[in-house]
């Protein structure tokens, strides 16, 4: 029997609620275990951006061994028009540890559907939107069969459009992913990562922008940033206190006072549910 290596808390968390999505260079097999036992809600073995062409096959073999040997992860495969896309899917689609795939440079809905069909029935696909076309087609992509969540490739999007990294410059793109996710009935969108060298303060600031834009997950490049990111993407202590007070008042029979009461009560219940899922409600 294969021994499970993945962090038990993270492995039990539904991917629709994952806050941190740790990208791991698949060519560096020696860092796999650290990623697996980390507090990252989801781990993504990366066969694409972090791996040069001459190491693609070695990286793929590393992933196959890992997912056959007790590890559990998502896999960022290579883009659909690359020479590696088909072989990536053929190699990993039926592996026991595969959670789903991330499709880079998604620009059209049929790319997601075809990837899902090529892999296996029911395999979830995260569509990574990294261009102006991808962002403008976000709603169609969100509604495509096979799409599980949308993710924002901030660096490549900036390269494609010329935008700066300022949150105001990227606000339209982030809001498009949030609205499209809602239209497609998907979990919240996943934001791009902080810089690998970002301090804890910068990770918190970046996560605040993510949260403010209605996105509920974030890619992460450095395992040392995971705990800070998880804390920043969870309901805050102030939010938990507010929710607890409102729910206690509701249980005590408080009356509806205005038209905002029921929406506030629904938000309090959502905060309580998330906080409980993340182990924070009684913290």
Does residue 107 sit within a domain? yes
Based on the structure, what is the number of domains in the chain? 2
The distance of Cα 35 from the centroid of its chain, to the nearest Å, equals 15
- Tens-digit pLDDT profile for the chain (283 aa)? 467 899 999 999 999 999 999 999 999 999 999 999 999 999 999 999 999 999 999 999 999 999 999 999 999 999 999 999 999 999 999 999 999 999 999 999 999 999 999 988 889 999 999 999 999 999 999 999 999 999 999 999 999 999 999 999 999 999 999 999 999 999 999 999 999 999 999 999 999 999 999 999 999 999 999 999 999 999 888 888 998 988 988 887 777 777 788 888 888 898 888 888 888 777 5
Radius of gyration of the chain (CA): 19
How does the average pLDDT of the chain come out, rounded? 94
pLDDT tens readout for residues 136-184: 999 999 999 999 999 999 999 999 999 999 999 999 999 999 999 999 9
What domain range includes position 260? 237-278
Quick one: 265 and 141 in the same domain?
no
Same domain, 244 and 152: no
Instruction: Specify the CATH number for the domain of residue 46.
Output: 3.20.20.60
Domain contains 1: no
Q: Which residues, 6+ apart, have CB-to-CB distance to 44 below 8 Å?
A: 21, 22, 23, 24, 73, 74, 75, 76, 102, 219
Instruction: Look at residue 1 in the predicted model and tell me its pLDDT.
Output: 46
Instruction: Please state, in angstroms and as integers, the Cα–Cα distance from residue 13 to each residue in 35, 182, 190, 205, 278, following that order.
Output: 16, 21, 16, 25, 8
Report pLDDT digits (tens) over 12-44: 999 999 999 999 999 999 999 999 999 999 999
Both tokens of residue 77? Answer: 């495969």
The DSSP string of 157-179 is: HHHHH---S-TTTTHHHHHHHHH
**Which two structure tokens, joined as six digits, stand for 241?**
């206190």
Is 76 a known ligand-binding residue?
Answer: yes
pLDDT of amino acid 176: 98
Alpha helices in the chain (DSSP H): 8-11, 32-37, 56-68, 85-92, 109-119, 132-136, 138-142, 154-161, 171-183, 200-212, 226-232, 237-251, 261-277
State whether 186 and 90 are in the same domain: yes
* Per-residue model confidence (pLDDT) at position 254: 74
Are 225 and 266 found together in one domain?
Answer: no
| Closest-CA residue to 192 (of 126, 136, 110) | 126
């Amino acid at each position: 029997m294969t021994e499970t290596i993945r962090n038990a808390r993270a492995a039990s968390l539904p991917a629709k609620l994952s806050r941190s999505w740790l990208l791991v260079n698949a060519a560096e097999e020696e860092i796999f275990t650290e990623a697996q036992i980390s507090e990252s809600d989801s781990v993504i073995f990366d066969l694409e951006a972090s791996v040069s062409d001459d190491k693609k096959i070695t990286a793929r073999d590393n992933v196959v061994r890992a997912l056959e040997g007790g590890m559990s992860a998502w896999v960022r495969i290579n883009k659909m028009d690359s020479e590696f896309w088909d072989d990536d899917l053929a190699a990993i689609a039926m592996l026991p540890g595969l959670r789903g795939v991330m499709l880079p440079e998604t620009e059209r809905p049929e790319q997601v559907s075809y990837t899902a069909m090529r892999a296996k029935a029911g395999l979830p696909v995260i569509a990574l939107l990294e261009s102006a076309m991808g962002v403008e087609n976000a709603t169609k992509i969100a509604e495509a069969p096979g799409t599980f969540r949308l993710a924002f490739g901030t660096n490549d999007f900036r390269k494609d459009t010329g935008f700066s990294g300022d949150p105001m410059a990227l606000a339209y793109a982030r809001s498009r992913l949030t609205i499209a996710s809602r239209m497609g009935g998907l979990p919240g969108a996943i934001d791009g990562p902080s810089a690998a060298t970002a301090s804890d303060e910068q990770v918190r600031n970046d996560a605040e922008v993510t949260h403010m834009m209605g996105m509920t997950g974030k890619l992460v490049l450095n395992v040392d940033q995971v705990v800070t990111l998880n804390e920043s993407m969870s309901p805050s202590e102030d939010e938990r206190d507010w929710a607890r007070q409102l729910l206690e008042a509701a249980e005590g029979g408080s009356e509806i006072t205005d038209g905002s009461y029921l929406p506030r009560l629904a938000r309090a219940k959502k905060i309580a549910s998330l906080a409980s899922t993340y182990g924070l409600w009684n913290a």
